[in-house]
Structure 1
Amino acid sequence: MNVKLLLTTLILLAVISCKNKNKTENNVDESVVVTQKEPFFKISLAQWSLNKAIRSGEMNPLDFAEKAHEMGFEGIEYVSQLYTPLMETFSDDKTALDSILPKLKAKSEEFNVQNVLIMVDAEGDLAVADDDERNTAVENHKKWIDAAAYLGCHAIRVNLIGAPDKEVWKTSAIDGLGKLAEYGASKNIDVIVENHGGFSSNAKLLMEVINTIDKPNCGTLPDFGNFCVKRENGAQWDGACVEEYPRYQGIEEMMPKALAVSAKTYNFDEAGEETIMDFTKILQLVKNAGYTGFIGIEYEGENLTAEEGIIKTKELLLSAAQNLN
């Protein structure tokens, strides 16, 4: 009888010990979760990350909101040129957008993602020297400001390509961008410039343009990766980079007027870090500037699938955010 009592007691002690151990472990896990820093930013998905699938016909650009929702994003950034083939099936741009935009808006509402901005390409050079050509570019961009307002976006992103002479470019950029920002203000839409090659990737020069225009809705979209100011043979987009603006300096200079931010990635090492840039250092610059909006993921690598690269970038943003002051 005493032996049975002893065994029963030992079993009860073992069960209690196991429960206490699990409780302790759970408390430790909960403690770890509590100490995790909340990111100071929200994360959006730039449609360009999926450009290969869209351009090949594998993915319908109208399904962008659904795809972003499936991947766990709360915001999306459209790219105008990815809708060009679809728009060309209509008689004119207005008819096209009147058909396309309601579909995009309905999808974003269905899948509960926020429309953040539209990246606008191939609508003319806003900093070209010729007055008529520049004014035509301004007019071409206006429909995308209207589209952004309809979708509930806060901004359009523009390129500031134009004159090859620095001073002529600067004067032309102030005029073209300034006119477009004025129209944007009438629709409550920000007009923001990405460092996207040429003089626009010279952050100091770009900020001279932005500060001269001096409108609250005219700002920048610092891209972590686009600081090549000159390529071989004078090429705009392709070719080896022969002159690059200092990356961290450029981001820091652009952040005071940043109304959006783009997290560009290309390749990752075994630890999940970007191979050519320090995300912790960059995010510290972004945080120091007081920015708390969306950071858009734009994966452009070749070694991973688009989905893998997007997720890797998201993981890197979240992990780097834990290392900030």
Structure 2
Amino acid sequence: MPSRRTFVKSALGLGAAALAPRALTAADPVSPEVAPWFDISLAQWSLQRDFWSGARDKLRFAAIAKNDFGISAVEYVNQFYLEGFSPKITAELKRVADGEGVHSVLIMCDRCGRLGDPDPAAQQASIDAHLPWLEAARTLGCHAIRVNAFSDASESYGTQLDRTADGLRRLCEIGDTYDLSVIVEPHGGLSSNGAWLAALMDLVAHPRVGTLPDFGNYGDHRAGWTYDRYLGTTQSMPYAKGVSGKTFHFDASGEEDTMDFRRLIEIVHASGFSGYIDVEYEGDEIDAATGIRLTRDLLVKLGGRL
């Protein structure tokens, strides 16, 4: 394991060879600049257009990750399976993943209500809506489900914190019976405020709770406010049980040019994290497959293992 000083020098000082253009293939990422220190997974959302349109088979996601991109770990998105979801779907996802030797990391859970809903019945309904995904995650061999920390945005910072902590803690207690963690991504509302998210973790104070820092999700642009992504990542990393390596756009040398991606990876590294960082490409100027490969290659250069 290189020292932090070695990592910074290597990660921030690209040589000419690393900048040279290259052909992108599924199984031939660029050479790493540092010794591997984290694992790479593929977030299913990267291919969301293909899955929504039916151009790719959502039940074959693990095979797509392995055969098209050379990635042997996956993070599912429940939205693609909500319609007609049943244990048979989970069984098929497991069959495909096991057949390809692909590890299932987590399930990202959306459209499950607000864990901090001020209406007790609605809050309980939100907790209950996550239970099928805990079941599925256990069957698939995941370590966690990713949830949203939403409340009533019209209420105060502190009230939303208290309400959300209550629902999240109750879900973590259930997650404990499944041997699964319940982790929160900055995903809009106050969850995209790094200080609020850290305070939420401290208030829940359960061993199963954690964060999934996402490089692109600090601040809520739809609500008209911003938050420094580097600060937010720094504040979230002490609780991280996963990281989302969000990318949007690349320059000609294969560097993400909408943010200082290398600085963000160094923040992750400095925290002592050594788990999965996912490939989550969300750009629209190149096709998703190319964006995934560029993100994968950049992560490999910075110490990612496939």
Superposition TM-score, scaled by structure 2 size: 0.86
Of all paired residues, the percent bearing the same amino acid is 40
Q: Select 2:79's aligned residue among 78, 81, 94.
A: 81
Q: Select 1:317's aligned residue among 287, 299, 303.
A: 299
Counterpart in the other structure of 1:299 = 281
1:157-172 to 2 correspondences below 5 Å: 157-164=146-153, 165=155, 166-172=157-163
Counterpart in the other structure of 1:122 = 111
User: Is the contact between residue 144 and residue 156 of structure 1 (CA under 8 Å) also seen in structure 2?
Assistant: yes
Q: 1:98 to 1:167 in 2, by over 3 A?
A: same
Which amino acid counterpart does residue 247 of structure 1 have in structure 2? R
Alignment of 1:279 onto 2:261: yes
Counterpart in the other structure of 2:9 = none
Deviation at 1:125, TM superposition (A): 0.9
Which amino acid counterpart does residue 286 of structure 2 have in structure 1? L
User: Is the contact between residue 234 and residue 267 of structure 2 (CA under 8 Å) also seen in structure 1?
Assistant: yes
Counterpart in the other structure of 1:3 = none
Q: 1:272 to 1:123 in 2, by over 3 A?
A: same
Q: Which runs of 5+ in 2 are unaligned?
A: 1-29
Counterpart in the other structure of 1:251 = 233
Alignment of 1:209 onto 2:200: yes
Deviation at 1:74, TM superposition (A): 1.6
User: Is the contact between residue 280 and residue 321 of structure 1 (CA under 8 Å) also seen in structure 2?
Assistant: no
Deviation at 1:318, TM superposition (A): 2.0
Alignment of 1:106 onto 2:129: no
Q: Residues of 2 paired with 1:321 and 1:211: CA distance?
A: 30
Deviation at 1:35, TM superposition (A): 9.1
Higher relative contact order (CA 8 A, sep 6+): 2
Deviation at 1:130, TM superposition (A): 1.4
Give the match's secondary structure for 2:86: helix
Q: Residues of 2 paired with 1:151 and 1:57: CA distance?
A: 23
Give the match's secondary structure for 1:210: helix
Question: For each residue in 1:186-226, what CA deviation from the matched residue of structure 2 results, as whole angstroms up to 9, or x when unmatched?
Answer: 11000000000110001111111111111111000000100
User: Is the contact between residue 87 and residue 136 of structure 2 (CA under 8 Å) also seen in structure 1?
Assistant: no
Q: Residues of 2 paired with 1:84 and 1:139: CA distance?
A: 15
Alignment of 1:61 onto 2:58: yes
Q: How many residues align?
A: 272
Deviation at 1:261, TM superposition (A): 0.5
Counterpart in the other structure of 1:148 = 137
Which amino acid counterpart does residue 65 of structure 2 have in structure 1? A
Deviation at 1:59, TM superposition (A): 1.0
User: Is the contact between residue 243 and residue 277 of structure 2 (CA under 8 Å) also seen in structure 1?
Assistant: yes
Q: Residues of 2 paired with 1:127 and 1:48: CA distance?
A: 25
Counterpart in the other structure of 2:12 = none
User: Is the contact between residue 129 and residue 168 of structure 1 (CA under 8 Å) also seen in structure 2?
Assistant: no
Q: 1:230 to 1:311 in 2, by over 3 A?
A: closer
Alignment of 1:225 onto 2:216: yes
Counterpart in the other structure of 2:16 = none
Which amino acid counterpart does residue 66 of structure 1 have in structure 2? A
Between structure 1 and structure 2, the one with the greater Rg is 1
Counterpart in the other structure of 1:173 = 164
Which amino acid counterpart does residue 192 of structure 1 have in structure 2? I
Q: Select 1:183's aligned residue among 174, 179, 190.
A: 174
Counterpart in the other structure of 1:136 = 125
User: Is the contact between residue 193 and residue 227 of structure 2 (CA under 8 Å) also seen in structure 1?
Assistant: yes
Q: Residues of 1 paired with 2:33 and 2:75: CA distance?
A: 28
Deviation at 1:34, TM superposition (A): 11
Deviation at 1:320, TM superposition (A): 3.4
Q: Residues of 2 paired with 1:303 and 1:51: CA distance?
A: 15
Q: Residues of 2 paired with 1:143 and 1:215: CA distance?
A: 21
Give the match's secondary structure for 1:156: strand
Q: Which runs of 5+ in 1 are unaligned?
A: 1-32, 88-95, 235-241
Q: Residues of 1 paired with 2:31 and 2:241: CA distance?
A: 30
Q: Residues of 2 paired with 1:46 and 1:35: CA distance?
A: 21
User: Is the contact between residue 279 and residue 316 of structure 1 (CA under 8 Å) also seen in structure 2?
Assistant: no
The structure 1 segments of at least 4 consecutive aligned residues displaced by more than 3 Å after TM superposition are: 33-36
Deviation at 1:36, TM superposition (A): 4.9
User: Is the contact between residue 283 and residue 321 of structure 1 (CA under 8 Å) also seen in structure 2?
Assistant: no
Counterpart in the other structure of 2:245 = 263
Question: For each residue in 1:45-67, what CA deviation from the matched residue of structure 2 results, as whole angstroms up to 9, or x when unmatched?
Answer: 00000110010011110010110
User: Is the contact between residue 248 and residue 281 of structure 2 (CA under 8 Å) also seen in structure 1?
Assistant: yes
Which amino acid counterpart does residue 66 of structure 2 have in structure 1? H
User: Is the contact between residue 156 and residue 191 of structure 1 (CA under 8 Å) also seen in structure 2?
Assistant: yes
Q: Residues of 2 paired with 1:121 and 1:37: CA distance?
A: 35
Superposition TM-score, scaled by structure 1 size: 0.81
Give the match's secondary structure for 2:132: helix
Counterpart in the other structure of 1:10 = none
Give the match's secondary structure for 1:207: helix
